[in-house]
Structure formats: C-alpha cells, structure tokens
A and B are shown apart, each in its own frame.
Chain A
Amino acid sequence: SAVISQKPSRDICQRGTSLTIQCQVDSQVTMMFWYRQQPGQSLTLIATANQGSEATYESGFVIDKFPISRPNLTFSTLTVSNMSPEDSSIYLCSVLPTSGSLETQYFGPGTRLLVL
C-alpha cells in the first residue's frame, strides 16, 4: 500500500473564496483520483488527476469549479473554487500504486471542509 497525506486536514471557509487541497504520496503511483463525500453520504468520484495533462472529470463536475493539477507522480492538488455552503464535504484523494494489485485504490485521510 501507499502512505497518503492531505493538507489541510480541515478548514472553515467563507463563501465565494477558494481552497486548494494537497495530496502527497510516499511513492510513485500510476493514477490519482479525487472524491467528494458529502455529510453522511457515500463517495463520489470528482475526477482523475492525469500527470502532465488535463484531469478527466466525471459527469456533474467541471474544471472551472474543481481545477486539478498533477505535476508529478506523487503529488496532486484539488481547488474548490467560488465556494458555497453546498461544497461543505470531505474531499479525499486516492491512488493506484504501481506495484501489487492494479485495481486496489488506497485513500488519504481526507480534508474536511465547512463553508459558511
């Protein structure tokens, strides 16, 4: 498995502002993903962070709202732009390691966001 860290672990933000979340992995991984988990709900994939190219977004999520960067094989950022209270959620990054199972995703600890 991979050791994944996220920063910040939690934040309280004002509506209309933006927050950038960082995801760092201790080893190179093939793929990195960003999920949203709304309060008391399940996980929904936002996008796949592609190294060196634009992220691939799932239906219902757009680049203008959730810009993503992945400058190398161990790091990615997700920005939540122009926030509203509806963006209050846990944001999770996950990775597919380069070794072992090609299917098993491992998750970071999450970033808990509250928008006032």
Chain B
Amino acid sequence: GENVEQHPSTLSVQEGDSAVIKCTYSDSASNYFPWYKQELGKGPQLIIDIRSNVGEKKDQRIAVTLNKTAKHFSLHITETQPEDSAVYFCAASIAGGSQGNLIFGKGTKLSVKP
C-alpha cells in the first residue's frame, strides 16, 4: 500500500524566512496531495492541496510543488510569521479519495521565532 515519508520532523526558522517541507510517496497511482496545519489543541485544517495534473499551486504565502516522476511534493511557506508555528502534515490518496484512503506523513513541527 501507499507510504508517505515527510521531512524534516522539526523545523525552526526566523520570522520572515522561508520554510520548506518535503514529502515522498510510494504509490504512483496516488493523484491527490493535501497539506494540513494542526495548531495545538485543534484538529487539522486544510491549507492547500494539489492534484497530479498540476505541477505547482500557490495561495498567497503558501505554495505546493509536485514532481510525479520522482514521486515527491513540497510545501513552501514564504515570509513566515509566528502564527505559522504549528505541525504540518502532508497526505496522499488515490483517485477520488472517496474511500477515506488518505495516507498521512508523520508531521513537521514548524517553529517561527520572532
């Protein structure tokens, strides 16, 4: 089955710097890749997602890139702010995702220092 590896497990940056989190997946049939942000005491919140027919997607300070050949995708956060501090999870699923088969990475704890 699908396996998702996520790196790094922890990341500390200065406010204003960029942060990059990388994930690799094993099943070439996976075609949907969401990213979730989980703040302390809360449930995961979807921040951006990408489908396999797209190489890059941006939403303000957040961008995600996908390399299908290499089977990896990355989250890029620019101009980081202290409120970006949270745990970020990548995930992958096969066509439709309607079977609940989201496979999650182990998470990256991002700390943004003022």
> Which A residues form the contact surface with B (CB < 8 A)?
1, 4, 30-31, 33, 41-45, 48, 92, 94, 96, 101-110, 112
- State A31–B37 Cα separation when bound (angstroms): 22
Contacting residue for B97 out of A1, A4, A105, A108, CB 8 A = A105
The 8 A-B residue pairs whose C-beta atoms are closest, nearest first, are: A103-B97, A107-B43, A33-B100, A109-B43, A42-B104, A103-B32, A110-B43, A48-B100
Q: Are A31 and B104 neighbours in the complex by a CB distance under 8 Å? A: no
User: A42-B89, A43-B104, A103-B93 in contact; A108/B98 too (CB < 8 A)?
Assistant: no
23 A-B residue pairs with CB within 8 Å = A30-B98, A41-B106, A41-B107, A42-B105, A43-B89, A43-B104, A45-B100, A45-B101, A48-B100, A92-B43, A92-B44, A94-B100, A96-B97, A102-B96, A103-B32, A103-B93, A104-B46, A104-B49, A105-B46, A105-B97, A105-B102, A107-B36, A109-B42
What are the interface flags for B18-59 relative to A under an 8 Å C-beta threshold, 1 for contact and 0 otherwise?
A: 000000000000001010100001111110010100000000
Please give, as numbers and ranges, the residues of chain A lying within 8 Å of B51 by CB-CB distance: 103
- State A103–B32 Cα separation when bound (angstroms): 8
Please give, as numbers and ranges, the residues of chain A lying within 8 Å of B93 by CB-CB distance: 103
> Which B residues form the contact surface with A (CB < 8 A)?
32, 34, 36, 41-46, 49, 51, 89, 93, 96-102, 104-107
Please give, as numbers and ranges, the residues of chain A lying within 8 Å of B107 by CB-CB distance: 41-42
Chain B residue nearest to A9 (CB atoms) is: B41
Q: Assuming A42-B107, A104-B46, what are 4 further A-B pairs, CB within 8 angstroms?
A: A104-B49, A104-B97, A107-B45, A108-B43
- State A35–B101 Cα separation when bound (angstroms): 11
- State A106–B107 Cα separation when bound (angstroms): 17
A37 shortest CB reach to chain B, Å: 9
Q: Are A43 and B98 neighbours in the complex by a CB distance under 8 Å? A: no
- State A105–B44 Cα separation when bound (angstroms): 10
- State A106–B84 Cα separation when bound (angstroms): 19
Q: Are B100 and A31 neighbours in the complex by a CB distance under 8 Å? A: yes
Q: Are B43 and A45 neighbours in the complex by a CB distance under 8 Å? A: no
Please give, as numbers and ranges, the residues of chain B lying within 8 Å of A48 by CB-CB distance: 99-100
